[in-house]
């Protein structure tokens, strides 16, 4: 729903999902999650919470 509102009001902006490294390693490495991302592409980035650095971009 948020994506639809964003596209209607600010079409030039992109929506990204920010996740921490532990969640990326535990949840997003699972085969079912990878299958979901193939079917429903999600732009995301992975953040190291200690250094507050982006360690991975997925578009």
What are 32-46's pLDDT values in tens digits? Answer: 999 998 998 899 999
One of 3.30.360.10, 3.10.150.10, 3.40.1350.10, 3.30.420.130 is the CATH number of 2-58, namely 3.40.1350.10
What are 6-15's pLDDT values in tens digits? Answer: 999 999 999 9
Domain-wise residue ranges, the chain: 2-58
What are 13-32's pLDDT values in tens digits? Answer: 999 999 999 999 999 889 99
Measured CA distances, 5 to 1, 12, 36, 42 (Å): 6, 12, 23, 16
How far the first Cα of the chain sits from its last, in Å, is: 19
């Amino acid at each position: 729903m948020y994506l639809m509102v964003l596209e209607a009001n600010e079409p030039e902006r992109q929506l990204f999902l920010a996740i921490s490294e532990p969640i990326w390693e535990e949840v997003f490495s699972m085969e079912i999650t990878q299958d979901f991302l193939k079917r429903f592409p999600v732009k995301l980035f992975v953040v190291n919470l200690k250094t507050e650095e982006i360690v991975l971009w997925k578009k």
